[in-house]
Chain A
């Protein structure tokens, strides 16, 4: 068990980061190639100021008509993503690993806050599941790929919470947490989680057409 844990936190972690970075670069590069091939005319209309304006606007909770339309999904989406990034970086145990491996330290949030935010994320994931099951329009467009992405995104938080509570002997949950985190890294370029890479491109595409061509706002 110790040997497998050391493998998961050592070579496997490096491999997961390599696939995540390499895969992400490849997916973005191939998407740009595809755009050049299929939307060559459009590339000339790409406008960085309009793109940035739209990206910033859509990052503000309730800052757009789209976000105002469905307050519950807006709230769940923002809570999920904000907590995800806060926990990823500022969880005390994560900072210890940075310090152990690379020797640099930074401020962290208290453990009790990390546990609370983890429960908030799990709650948001429950909301996403409930929505996919009960909202007819959403259920109609939901496929296995959506469930896979949701499952991969939820697993690190459930296992992370149980690891932090030292569930069972602690090691098995910590190991599962590490493996789920690595699965998420590997899945980002190749599943629906790729919206993390493509969201800025999607917004840039729409914002350029709306802003530079039609001269209207895209929010």
Chain B
């Protein structure tokens, strides 16, 4: 009887370990992205903007139009047809505004809000993205 209990305990322990080992990988890939939380803008005043990458792009019909957000350019001039997937926004857009470079926070706000306004869909008010219920 005692052996059986120990056996069960050991088995559940092993199962727990397996769950932790094989559980969700660290969130880093775009498809797992749920919030925009650039390190450069920490500590943030508001909760990070909710942004489920794949779900958003499916709804907005942007699956094959990565360049809308992942653009390329320098000195304030966009390079047509050159995308920049994999490069975080903060790699080019610094927190402080450059001479011909949009500041990081403004780049986020303009990218999201201008598109939402142009399409007439998606939130443009503060708590529409920075939701205190999802800090």
| Interface residue SS majority, chain A | helix
> CA A10 – CA B117 in complex, angstroms?
10
Q: A177 — nearest CB in chain B belongs to which residue?
A: B125
- Residues of B within 8 Å of A99, CB to CB, are 103, 105-106, 109
B103 near A171 (CB under 8 angstroms)?
no
Q: Give the residues from 151 to 206 in chain A that come closer than 8 angstroms, CB to CB, to chain B.
A: 163, 166, 169-171, 174-175
B126 near A174 (CB under 8 angstroms)?
yes
B127 near A100 (CB under 8 angstroms)?
no
Check: A2 CB closer than 8 A to any chain B CB: yes
Minimum Cβ distance to chain A for residue B113 (Å)? 7
- Residues of B within 8 Å of A136, CB to CB, are none
Q: Tell me the count of chain B residues lying within 8 A, CB to CB, of chain A.
A: 24
Q: Give the residues from 100 to 135 in chain B that come closer than 8 angstroms, CB to CB, to chain A.
A: 102-103, 105-106, 109-110, 113, 116-117, 120-128, 131-133
Q: B117 — nearest CB in chain A belongs to which residue?
A: A6
Q: B113 — nearest CB in chain A belongs to which residue?
A: A100
Determine the interface band of chain A, counting residues with CB < 8 A from chain B.
Answer: 20 to 34
- Residues of B within 8 Å of A105, CB to CB, are 97, 103
A2 with B121, Cβ < 8 A, contacts A103-B97, A166-B127, A166-B131 known: yes
Residues of chain B having any CB pair with chain A under 8 Å = 45-46, 97, 102-103, 105-106, 109-110, 113, 116-117, 120-128, 131-133
Show 13 residue pairs from A and B whose CB-CB distance is below 8 angstroms, ordered by the A residue. Answer: A2-B122, A6-B124, A9-B124, A99-B106, A100-B109, A100-B110, A100-B113, A103-B102, A110-B45, A111-B46, A166-B133, A171-B123, A175-B125
- Interface contacts beyond A3-B120, A170-B127: sample of 9 additional A-B pairs, CB < 8 Å, sorted by A: A2-B120, A9-B124, A96-B105, A99-B106, A100-B109, A100-B110, A100-B113, A103-B106, A170-B131
